[in-house]
Amino acid sequence: MTKHENSLTTEQIDALVEAHMGTSIDTPMREGAFDRSDEEKVAMIAEKFTDIMDILGLDLKDDSLRGTPLRVAKMYVKEAFAGLNPDNEPEMKLFDNKYGYSEMLVERDIKVHSHCEHHFVPIIGKCHVAYIPNGKVVGLSKLNRIVRHYAKRPQVQERLTRQIAEAMMEGLGTEHVAVYLEADHMCVKTRGIEDDHSSTVTMAFHGSFQNENTKRAFLEATK
């Protein structure tokens, strides 16, 4: 068995995928995942994607298709999966809470563009996040950047929700954090069951947001 082969049968793999099973809060990464430069990754992915297109029977001499492998490779490394690289994690610069603001702060309707790690097709949705300051505050755009960073990798929505919450708690120095994420999964809409109408909602509540009144106030604010 090579390092690329899996000991699970096709039926077992299909069962895990249909169960939407994840492994942990951490994105599964192999040892040495960051040994190669982005440029090396782009070149290698372009070569592999050329093979995929050739296997599918596409004519790579065609003007429309000739540049596709490189375009896909750049998209994967520089855009769609840029959140895999820890060097791209946004810095959480905190400021003194000079206004004395002590209520929840809600950032609504943050766009989410991610990819399902089971089929590598898009997950598209929106995220609402909130925190209650603990002496420090952060620039609002940093909350959007946290969501974007963790979305830009192969994901399952449950893990993405938890990663956003954990990053906010660590970066803001407060346990009082809430996350609400609603998304459409193209692996549901465009394959398999092909359900155009369903969406998936996940939530994370920590600290004071576990209080039913505070939780209710946050959920009302997201409407």
Active-site annotation holds for 118: yes
Residues 83 and 127 in one domain: no
Domain termination residue (choose one: 45, 64, 88): 88
Question: Which member of 115, 155, 157, 176 is catalytic?
Answer: 157
Mean pLDDT of 44-54: 98
Q: Domain for residue 5, yes or no?
A: no
Distance CA(83)–CA(67), nearest Å, equals: 24
Active-site annotation holds for 157: yes
Question: Which member of 116, 127, 128, 163 is catalytic?
Answer: 116
pLDDT at 167: 97
Question: Which member of 118, 128, 149, 176 is catalytic?
Answer: 118
How does residue 5 score in pLDDT terms, banded at 50, 70 and 90?
A: very low
Question: Which member of 89, 107, 117, 166 is catalytic?
Answer: 117
| pLDDT, mean over the chain | 92
pLDDT at 33 over 90: yes
Domain termination residue (choose one: 88, 108, 124): 88
- CB environment 32-67: b (16+ within 10 A), e (fewer): eeeeeeeeebbeebbeebbeeeeeeeeeeeeeeeee
Active-site annotation holds for 127: no
pLDDT single digits (tens) 77-103: 999 999 999 999 999 999 999 989 999
Range of the domain at 78: 10-88
Distance CA(155)–CA(158), nearest Å, equals: 8
Residues 124 and 208 in one domain: yes
Residues 115 and 181 in one domain: yes
Q: ∠203-206-208 over CA atoms, to 5°?
A: 120
Residues 84 and 120 in one domain: no
Active-site annotation holds for 12: no
Element (H, E) at 149: helix 140-151
Active-site annotation holds for 119: yes
Residues 17 and 36 in one domain: yes
**What is the DSSP annotation of 24-70?**
-SSPP--TTTTSS-HHHHHHHHHHHHHHHHHHTT--TTSTTTTTHHH
Question: Which member of 20, 113, 119, 206 is catalytic?
Answer: 119
Residues 79 and 61 in one domain: yes
pLDDT at 139 over 80: yes
Q: Domain for residue 213, yes or no?
A: yes
Taking the model in full, what pTM does it have?
0.89
Contacts of 198 (CB under 8 A, 6+ apart): 188
Q: State how many domains the chain has.
A: 2
In percent, the amount of the chain with pLDDT more than 70 equals: 91
| Cβ contact 27:151 at 8 Å | no
DSSP 207: G
